[in-house]
A and B are shown apart, each in its own frame.
Chain A
Amino acid sequence: MTPSLHLWLIPILPLIGAAINGFFGRRLSRQTVSAVALTFCGAAFLMGLYVAARFPSLELPHAEYLGHWIRSGNFMVNFEFYLDQLTLVMLLVVTGVGFLIHIYSVGYMWEEGGFYRFFSYLNLFMFFMLTLVLAGNYLQMFIGWEGVGLASYLLIGFWFTKDSAASAGKKAFIVNRIGDFGFLIALFLLIKHFGSLNFSQLFSSIAQQPAETAGVGLLTSIGLLLMVGAAGKSAQIPLYVWLPDAMEGPTPVSALIHAATMVTAGVYMVARSHVIFGHAPNALTVVAIIGTLTALFAATIGIAQTDIKKVLAYSTVSQLGYMFMACGVAAYSAGIFHLMTHAFFKGLLFLAAGSVIHAVGGEQDMRKMGGLRQYIPWTFMTMTAATFAIAGFPPFAGFFSKDEILARAYEANPAYWFIGVTTAFITSFYMFRLWFMTFFGDYRGREAAEHGHAPAHGHGHGGHGDPHESPMIMLVPLMILAVLSVIGGWVGIGGRFEHFLSPVFGEGATAVATEALSRSTEITLMVISVVAAVLGFYLAYVLYLKRPELPQKIADSLGGLYQAVVNKYYVDEIYGDLFVKPLVDGSTRILWHGVDQGVIDAAINDTADGARHVSDSARQMQSGNVRSYAGWVAVGAAVIIAYMIWMGVR
């Protein structure tokens, strides 16, 4: 019997913070509000460290049980927590990166109205995310799953007076719910056929089933439906459309929720369900294909974006694609490894982008930046680390995790690898494009400011004057994340990370697989991906530093194709025409005006009119004339008597 670690405290702590700020924050000073938020989030992080410290002495997986939640008939769901190596990685990433972003937010949001509201939502997000990560069954995971969606909705729409922000929040929530459709049906299937949603029970009974190699059986359906849910939350094709819009939220939110943690929930869920997917190879193939295609597709859109946050958003979609690619080839630990390094460098990229935006007074268009490295050297340096990390330069963090994924993909199917390497090249290109456009060349923001270009949202700093470096409270988290972006991948050297996770995913799959590739193939693959990254860098260098007039020429020569990329392949428009418009028009014209008013109500009114006509004639009987009444009585009596006689005769 392992002692209780009181895992429930980990999510509850930030919830307390959210409640305090939510109820009383209005009357508290900014200092108090941020102290409360940081204390409770930090406490959750400390709990995470405590759990990590106790980890070697635990009997794993470690489960803690709190009580019933739903019990109807013989079906039961508990509040329960589940801790294994996978949980620990997620726990530390979420609380650690989360805490850093909380610190950063104090500086970033200081001048904003609704300061307390922001931190209340941010803590609320931590509560739901930790519930998701620590859940011991699928339904509790679903609490967190829906809850992070809510927090995301509230935070994207934080500047709710801005219409685009409010719409983006709504879109995110609804698209996520479409994914939840799959998740929910998968849960019902699990309940119906296995009678439980508890991870331990479920996985041990599924493990005894034979794998479904052909067709779409039960486990394959469950796997595919789970993937629908994951595609919603983790912004994969075809449900990725909400994530770029989600950039309407404050930048720390983009960093925390829409890059480092929440959007990786889908990857976590697929990895957590690896037993199911292990028995449903066809479903796994679908995961791999969706991941691979998303990685490439989103990367190409990233090339042509000019909004710094939009570039990063598409990059996030693309990187999540890599993680699904990894899961799809059963390299779960590689996927989780990339999830972790991505949390470091993408969190950092967003925070640094926030620092850039902060520096230039709210401007997000990279065409109005340039040359910023001399104004904001710290931001520049940290962002450089992150850019090299995401581009996959050794020895930065992204190199190790991406290389791992690509090697495993090559083994499964060289086509995945080829697309993966192509994407790596594109990634390197658009990231260095961003880097050169933002930090090199000359500052192009002044003329924009003179033209009275208002900042997108009301930073008190205004858009005037030279760009200025952010305060220490924002820079320190950047530096910490920069260090992690550099060294964070080293834990994977020699397969150590994989080995750590092997009790969860099974040593067999990983060990055998690494053996399968000969040393020389492995090195060749590594060299190719480094070359791809260098090529991307070089191309960006040529196009955006050496010959800045070239991109426009290329764009002109590409014409329609370029327009399609700039307009994100018109996917939003297509969805609008294909789903939203028919739904709106159909509901209004056919259902409401047609069926409701045209058919049902018309029928009712006709009946009523008919009744009135009948009653009108019947009313004539009520003449008020006593003699005519007597006459009717007589008629009535005669009818009744006649009826009785007839009945009697019969």
Chain B
Amino acid sequence: MQNHILSIILFTPLLGAIVLLFVPKESKNAIRWIANIFALGGFLISIPLVPMFWAQRFDISHAFKFIEGAPNTWIPTIGAGYYLGIDGISFLLIMLTTMLGWISILSSWTAIENRVKEYYIWFLVLQTGMLGVFMALDFFLFFVFWEAMLVPMYLLIGIWGGPRKLYAAIKFFLYTLAGSVLMLLGILFLYFNHHSVTGMYTFAIPELYKTAPQIFFNPQYGSTYATLLFFCFFVAFAIKVPMFPFHTWLPDAHVEAPTAGSVILAGVLLKMGTYGFIRFSLPFFPAVVMSAKVRGWMIFLSIVAIIYGALVSLMQKDMKKLVAYSSVSHLGFCTLGIFALNPVGLSGSVLQQINHGISTGALFLIVGVLYERRHTREISEYGGISNVMPIYATITMIMFLSSMGLPLLNGFVGEFTILQGTFMENWKWAAWAVPGVILAAAYLLWLYQRVFFGSVTNPKNEKLHDLTPREIATFVPLIIMALWIGIYPKPFFEILEQPSIQIARTVREGARTSNVLASTPANAPANVPAKPDSAKGMD
């Protein structure tokens, strides 16, 4: 299994960035072509992963597949390793990233006119950072990618953004940084704790899975420490998601970011938070997560986000802000599914993360299309656009329907599964969340009415040209995916089946017992075995 497909996928964008370094910045079209080739290449290269992963989707002997590198091999003195591996959850997120990365770069062709070279370089670097986060099985490596993602995004907003770009960029940066610092603290605690228990220093995540849940049961620390640690990670991830009340950076960042930046921000970056919850918070602190109080708060914040995001979205006058708040609402469904803590909720949540990437990514592209033509996102500037841009209006309608969860499109499958998983735990949670579905129809249809229906009242809109073939090309894969997941989600559920069952079981068993450690010898050898299947220790 030691092939290098993950590394190849991971570094293709970075290679593109390096190549771009050698292209003179005046030859803008050459830069665009190269960037697009690498972005498309990055997507195409990730496609062989699909059949490879598919073949072992039910393989329960390894929690993580396509293991590459080994723990502690990169900086052995501190126990950091170049250690990659994926399960069904990260696999889907990686595919989403490579697809959206390509689409975003394709959509930037005419939108970006100044400092073109830097733009594409940073975008490609960002791409590698995001992929790394989903692949890393080593906390040190993970943190490097996590931070590496932050800088390019900051620059994308700060340089190529709108009028209040600096405010938005700094807000984004500070918010995220604050979370990162707390997370670093948490990582270090786990790292030293692992040493004190096993006598060995390692950042390998599968290794930490064995010791971290014990903190709760360790008389030296107890539930207070475990809860505090949970909150260190929680803040970092909650800011990324963003969960209420950590969400106020999002509307600003989205409004100011260039279109492609928004697509990536909503489509992939926000998933870092939900991914973090699933990959770290749940298996590290099962007892904390399962405690009625913490879980109750998580559910409460998710429901607030769903309703609150939808209500505030309803009232926005700026299209992008509207979509941004709708993201808060949709991500609320994702966190709700996670903290249902059962396989149904978890797989629904991951599927909904993919769905959100597709639908909201498309919504930002849709806003971008109008913005590029009119340089305004004020809803009141528009009206009657259906008359002048019928193809665009149709595509928008399809994506709006996908976002509001119409059956046979992707959003419905995700939301339904999440709600069903939540309902199993507590019917009231689901009942509180359902109004989010009603409100989604309200804010999207109202937006549609104001922008597309009526007659063209603003003379500036009379001459708008419909979508170009390049623009259509950016939407086609998203529509295909929306229909695929809506009509035939079975493969997605199969891919998510093993990891979601496994994680739910880890959480539920880990919360009850302290015997996870019993399976590993207390006096573990100083060297971690470099066997790739050490990840098996997860269960």
Contact = CB atoms under 8 A, between A and B. Distances in A.
Interface of A: 22, 26, 68-73, 75, 139, 142-143, 146-147, 150, 153, 157, 160-163, 166-167, 169-170, 173-174, 177-178, 180-181, 184-185, 188-189, 191-192, 583-584, 586-588, 591-592, 595-597, 600-601, 604, 608
Contacts of B434: 181, 184-185
A163 B454 contact: yes
B438 A188 contact: no
Contacts of B76: none
B423 A586 contact: no
Contacts of B308: 591, 595
B386 interface: yes
Contact of B315 (A150, A169, A592): A592
Given A167-B449, A591-B308, A584 B315 contact: yes
Contacts of A69: 487-490
25 contacts: A68-B490, A69-B489, A73-B343, A73-B421, A75-B420, A143-B407, A143-B408, A160-B386, A160-B452, A161-B454, A162-B454, A163-B454, A166-B454, A170-B442, A180-B437, A181-B435, A184-B437, A188-B423, A191-B423, A583-B314, A587-B311, A587-B314, A591-B311, A592-B312, A595-B245
A192 B423 contact: yes
Contacts of B454: 160-163, 166
Contacts of B501: 73
Q: Chain A: interface secondary structure?
A: helix
Interface in B416-433: 416-417, 419-421, 423-424, 427, 430-431
B376 to A, nearest CB: 20
B311 A73 contact: no
A173 B419 contact: no
Q: What are the 7 closest A-B residue pairs judged by CB atoms, nearest first?
A: A166-B453, A587-B311, A188-B423, A143-B407, A160-B453, A73-B344, A161-B455
B401 interface: yes
A407 B53 CA distance: 65
A147 B406 contact: yes
Contact of A178 (B406, B416, B438): B438
A71 B493 contact: yes
Contacts of A72: 343-344, 347-348, 417, 420-421, 493, 496-497
A426 to B, nearest CB: 34
Interface centre among B308, B390, B449 (most CB of A within 10 A): B449
A71 B455 CA distance: 45
A6 B183 CA distance: 57
Interface of B: 171, 174-175, 245, 247-248, 308, 311-312, 314-316, 342-344, 347-348, 384, 386-387, 390, 394, 401, 406-408, 412-413, 416-417, 419-421, 423-424, 427, 430-431, 434-435, 437-438, 441-442, 445-446, 449, 452-455, 487-490, 493, 496-497, 501
B248 A188 contact: no
Contact of B344 (A68, A75, A184): A75
A587 B315 contact: yes
B441 A177 contact: yes
Contacts of B407: 139, 142-143, 146-147
Contact of A153 (B438, B445, B446): B445
Contacts of A587: 311-312, 314-315
Interface centre among A72, A170, A173 (most CB of B within 10 A): A72
A471 B308 CA distance: 54
B441 A174 contact: yes
B435 A71 contact: no
Given A71-B490, A192-B423, A600-B248, A146 B406 contact: yes
B248 A586 contact: no
B321 to A, nearest CB: 10
Contacts of A597: 248
B311 A166 contact: no
A185 B430 contact: yes
B438 A170 contact: no
A75 B442 CA distance: 30
Contacts of A147: 406-408
A338 to B, nearest CB: 29
A166 B442 contact: no
B442 A174 contact: yes
Nearest to A587: B311
Nearest to A167: B449
Contacts of B245: 595, 600
Interface centre among A71, A162, A177 (most CB of B within 10 A): A177
A184 B394 CA distance: 28
A170 B490 CA distance: 32
